[in-house]
């Protein structure tokens, strides 16, 4: 499906469902066209690529899933691969990446995505209501609005991950079990997936020596600085969550090891106590004549010896703080 929006800078009006084949599509250098291609088939994508003369490699990237964000510079436009995050805590794969491809030129922005994205849906709704604020300040400002919307969607996920880490810390000291280990692994996968999607964007939108990897108007640079600040906060939070989770996981394994050692120590003490008892009863159980076996005192003496040996070992273990 293809949706089109045209901002006519001469008349200061916004039109939608414009014909892309019009020869007078860009009458003024400040005109801006937004083409949103979603839930598309290959024929629709090829049509848009032909209208704007997109390189076939960029078109191939739109048809294939790429897990890493990037920006490629072509002769007349820039091509971005971005990602929105979908978070489903109860599913096997908690984090899924919704790929958003963006073609950026001074006079057009083409967004290509398979599934609906809330950020683009909100912008499209405002454009249909004739709100021209998104398109009247240039293509780089329009790209900022898209990026800002995607970034804002990351923060609720971060808040939930933070809550889950706190919950894991509480459960750790209550009752370690198999479910906690699975929760650890699920959280680590979630954090890793988020880092893979967001970390490259930090390099994409951080200016080097005051220059960006794509053209940004001087008036719009503060917006991208604010965007970069948000991305850095997110990446720093993810790094903190990863380190905190590693520390909690190490504590968890230490707790398990300590409890295992405690159990082994108890079993060892029991084995040492029963070792002489087993030896004596086993030795005299082989039809070996007891000393003075005709007297009841022989049985009493052996029993007293066994009890004495047991008591002596218990005293030794107690003195060494083994029990």
Ranges of each domain in the chain? 2-256, 267-319
Sign of CA dihedral 204, 100, 230, 132: positive
Residue 279 has a pLDDT of 67
Q: Can you read off the two tokens belonging to residue 320?
A: 């060494």
Beta bridge partners of 111: 36, 102
The Cα 101–Cα 111 span in angstroms is: 6
CB 79 within 8 A of CB 71: yes
Q: Which helix (H) or strand (E) holds 101?
A: strand 95-104
Q: For the domain bounded by 2-256, which CATH number is listed?
A: 3.30.460.20
Q: What is the pLDDT along the chain (323 residues), one digit of tens a residue?
A: 888 888 877 777 788 888 777 766 666 777 888 999 988 888 999 999 998 899 999 999 998 888 788 888 898 899 999 998 888 877 777 888 899 999 999 888 999 999 889 999 888 888 877 666 678 888 888 999 999 999 999 999 999 888 888 887 777 766 666 667 777 888 888 888 888 888 888 777 776 455 667 778 888 888 888 888 898 899 888 888 888 887 777 777 777 777 777 777 777 777 777 777 676 676 666 566 666 666 667 667 777 777 777 777 777 767 766 66
State the Cα–Cα distance between residues 194 and 238, nearest whole angstrom: 8
CA distances from 188 to 91, 164, 239 (A): 15, 11, 11
pLDDT at residue 200, rounded to an integer: 83
- Beta-strand relationship, 13-16 and 32-38: unpaired
Q: Within the chain, where are the H helices?
A: 42-52, 56-63, 118-128, 139-152, 154-174, 178-204, 221-284, 296-319
- Per-residue burial over 207-229, b if 16 or more Cβ lie within 10 Å, else e, is eeeeebbbebeeebeebbeebbe
| Cα–Cα dist 225/206, whole Å | 8
Both tokens of residue 193? 């997936």
* Cα angle for residues 57, 220, 76 (degrees, 5° grid): 25
CA–CA distance, 103 with 84 (Å, rounded to integer): 17
Residue closest to 204 by CA, chosen among 115, 60, 83, 99: 83
pLDDT of residue 79: 93
Q: What angle do CA 60, 61, 65 make, to 5 degrees?
A: 120
């Amino acid at each position: 499906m293809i949706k089109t929006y045209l901002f006519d800078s001469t008349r200061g009006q916004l039109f939608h469902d414009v014909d892309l084949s019009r020869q007078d599509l860009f009458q003024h250098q400040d005109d801006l066209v937004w083409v949103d291609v979603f839930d598309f088939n290959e024929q629709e994508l090829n049509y848009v690529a032909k209208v704007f003369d997109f390189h076939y490699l960029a078109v191939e990237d739109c048809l294939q899933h790429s897990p890493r964000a990037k920006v490629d510079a072509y002769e007349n436009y820039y091509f971005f691969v971005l990602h929105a995050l979908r978070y489903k805590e109860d599913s096997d794969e908690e984090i899924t990446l919704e790929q958003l491809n963006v073609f950026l030129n001074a006079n057009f922005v083409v967004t290509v995505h398979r599934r609906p994205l809330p950020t683009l849906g909100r912008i499209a709704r405002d454009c249909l209501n004739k709100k021209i604020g998104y398109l009247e300040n240039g293509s780089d400002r329009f790209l900022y609005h898209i990026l800002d919307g995607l970034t804002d969607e990351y923060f609720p996920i971060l808040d939930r991950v933070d809550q889950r880490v706190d919950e894991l810390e509480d459960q750790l000291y209550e009752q370690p079990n198999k479910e906690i280990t699975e929760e650890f692994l699920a959280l680590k996968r979630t954090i890793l997936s988020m880092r893979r999607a967001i970390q490259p964007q930090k390099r994409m939108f951080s200016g080097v020596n005051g220059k960006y990897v794509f053209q940004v108007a001087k008036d719009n640079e503060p917006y991208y600085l604010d965007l970069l600040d948000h991305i850095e906060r997110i990446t720093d939070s993810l790094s903190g969550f990863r380190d905190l989770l590693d520390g909690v996981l190490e504590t968890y394994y230490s707790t398990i090891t300590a409890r295992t050692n405690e159990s082994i120590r108890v079993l060892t003490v029991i084995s040492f106590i029963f070792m002489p008892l087993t030896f004596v009863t086993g030795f005299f159980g082989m039809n070996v004549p007891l000393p003075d076996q005709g007297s009841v005192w022989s049985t009493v003496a052996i029993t007293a010896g066994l009890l004495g040996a047991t008591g002596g070992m218990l005293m030794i273990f107690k003195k060494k703080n083994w029990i």
